[in-house]
Amino acid sequence: MKLSCDLEVLYRLARSVGDSKSKKARCLLSIGRKGKDELHLIVSTVKNVTGSTYKLKKNVIQIFDKFTKDGKTTIRFSDPAHDLCISKADPVKLKEFLLLLRLSPKEQGTVSVAPLLPPKMRDLDKPVTRLSIKSRGEYPIEAGFPSSLERLVAPNIVLTRFDRRIFNLSSLQHLDLSGNVIKVIPEELKDLSLSELILSGNQIKELPAAVGYGAIASSLKVLDLSRNSLTYLPQSFHLFKSLVQLKLDCNELQVLPRGFGRLQGSLRFLSISSNKLVLLPFSFSRLRLESLDLYGNPFKAGGLVRRCKNLNMPGLMELSARVIKKQKLLYNTQTIPVALCHYLDSSKKCLCGMHCFDAYLHYIAKLDLSKVSSSLTSVDQSGTTCVPIELFLCSAKCLKLWK
């Protein structure tokens, strides 16, 4: 078994001397047998192809595997007193590699492992981290993608769907599939720790709600979904806590999620021009942007109030749901029926902090966008910078206080 990685060797007995570490280098770790002998681990580099050898039987003191999912681990040997500090390894291959290291002496004697052979120079080459595909003919149909890819760019090559092999690229940080004809974003995208995702100029109609609950929600900083066919964003969209730049121009968005303003901690550049927005959620007023473009949306006039029934006497179901929300009680489909979960998820929060469901006042106010962004584009040709925002108020008293 072989593992390509970056390696730094710590010489434990040389700590007092002061030169206790080797220089980090790209290397190939190989586990195998020398003839019919016991299992050995060999560390090979470009400068030392034959490598350094470590016996495995009763020689591995400890394996530090807390960061294996990040391609990092440390293997501590007894003789010699070395720590092999591994980084930039493929997490899947690293886990398989460590399983072999953890075998008992008896299991090491029976496990089927290929004999050790001198590594090939291509195995010691620096891993490919960037790949730009400029035509269909360059697309790696049979060869596949290098597992070390950090940046993949494949625009304008008429891709109709996501290549499932992309979801195995654990090191991928930048993905650009713009200008294709992709219609569906698979839920598996949530497991990639991307920092930039460019999907502009496709035919995407929706962003799966599950994407907001994966690794990508905490890592994504740049998202470009402009020039697609999006009609809405999932309510989980506010979970993209690291998002700095968001482009949603030239879609068919009619509303934004009520919690959109919860992106206030990170979002700085926002562009949603040429959509079908008629109003914005109240949470939008919490944003503090450096650049904002809402030009070309058919915003309607403010000052409208729609009174819902049961405002003075909410029903028992509503009163119970309000208590659950106020006390922040946990619930899921295993503890209550699905219909009740959907009902609780549909809550609207009043300015006073009260949650309401069926009994509320629906009020359309006005927001001056200059209070939201230091640089902005007017929303129409007349230079308007005020837009309607949507409020849900639990009582006539709250409406009076707002006015």
pLDDT tens string 122-179: 666 677 889 999 999 999 988 889 888 999 999 999 999 999 999 999 889 999 999 9
d(CA 26, CA 3): 11
- Classified by CATH at the fold level, domain 130-253 comes out as 3.80.10
Q: What is the pLDDT of residue 39?
A: 87
Of 334 and 117, more confident: 334
Confidence bin at 321 (pLDDT 50/70/90): very high
Confidence bin at 228 (pLDDT 50/70/90): very high
CB 296 within 8 A of CB 328: no
Q: What is the dihedral of CA 363, 366, 370, 376, to 10 degrees?
A: 90
| Least confident segment among 150-164, 220-234, 335-349 | 335-349
Query: Model-level pTM?
Result: 0.75
DSSP state of 301: P
The rounded mean pLDDT for the chain is 89
Pick the CATH number of 2-124 from 2.30.29.180, 3.40.50.150, 2.40.110.10, 3.10.620.30: 2.30.29.180
Q: What is the pLDDT of residue 385?
A: 92
Q: What is the pLDDT of residue 14?
A: 78
Q: What is the pLDDT of residue 105?
A: 80
Q: What is the pLDDT of residue 111?
A: 81
Percent of the chain scoring above 70 in pLDDT: 94
Confidence bin at 50 (pLDDT 50/70/90): confident
Confidence bin at 85 (pLDDT 50/70/90): very high
From residue 379, alpha-carbon distances to 25, 258, 277, 304 in Å are 54, 21, 11, 20
Q: What is the pLDDT of residue 104?
A: 83
pLDDT over 60 at 303, yes or no: no
- Let me know if 221 is exposed, middle or buried by CB neighbors in 10 A (0-12, 13-18, 19+): middle
Hey, where are the domains in the chain?
A: 2-124, 130-253
252: nearest Cα among 212, 289, 204, 292:
204
How many CB atoms are closer than 10 A to CB 85? 20
Helix (H) or strand (E) holding 156: none
